[in-house]
Structure 1
C-alpha cells in the first residue's frame, strides 16, 4: 500500500465548502470558534454507515455538552444524503464530496484493505477540529460500530 496524505494533531484542517443534503454550501470556516467532529464515511444507507450515523445522532447531546458539533462527509450526491438523513432522522449536516477532493485532502480516500484485497475507496475516518481550525485528533480506519462511544470517552475535558 502506498503512503497517502495523513493529517496529524496540530495541522491546519484543510478548508472546504461542500453542498449539504439540500444543496446549500457549508464551509469548515462556518465553524471557526467552535469545536467540530468531522467524519468521513463510504456510502449513505449502507449498514455500517447507517449504524455510525445513528450513533452520532444518538450522542449529539453528549457531544454538544462537550462543546462539539458534528459534520458527516461522503461521496454521495445531495439527493441521496437527503433521503438518508430523512430515513434515519439525522439532525446534523451531511455533506457531499462527489469528486472526492476533500476526502483525498484529509487522507480519507485512497488505498485500503477490503477483505484482504487492496482497493481504492473511502477510509472511514474521524477528526476533532478545535475552535482555531486545527486538527486536535485524527483517527483513520475507525470501526463503524462502537466508534462514537470510544470517541466520547477520549474527548478532551
Structure 2
C-alpha cells in the first residue's frame, strides 16, 4: 500500500553532476526527508571502493535492496523525500521502482566535458578522469519508456539547476493534489 500524496525523488546522474549539492538544497527548501544512498552501502562495498576496486552488479544488489526498502519507509512518513543515488543502469532504476509506485527520478544530465571541468576545478577533491570515463561507460541514459524520469540540464549555474528541480517537484505535487 502506498500513500498517493507522498513522493520519493531519486536524484541521479554520474559523479560530478551535482547530485549532492542539488539534493541537499532541495531537501532543505522543501523540509523533505533526505538520504544519501551511499550511506547504505554494506561494509564489503565500502572496503572494496576504498581499495580502489569498482563495484559490480552483484556487489550493488544488497545496496539497491536497502535503498528500495528505505524509499518504501520514507514515503510512509514524509510528504516529499529525496534520495541521492547514481542509478546509472536501467535495471538499478527498476530495482528502486519495485513496490514503490510513488518514486520517480530527477536525472542531472550533463555532457562529459562539462562534468570533467567541474570535477577538475574542485579544491581538495580527489579526481581522476578515468573514474568519470567509467561512470559514463556504465550510464544507461533514461529513455522515453521511463515515464517517471525528468532530465535537468546541468549546463547552467547551480542555482538554476536547483530552481528547475524545485519547480519540477512543486508542479508534480500541485498535479497530485488537484487530480
Give the structure-2-normalised TM-score.
Answer: 0.32
Q: Which has the higher strand share?
A: 1
Q: Which has the higher helix share?
A: 2
Choose 1 or 2 for highest CA Rg.
2
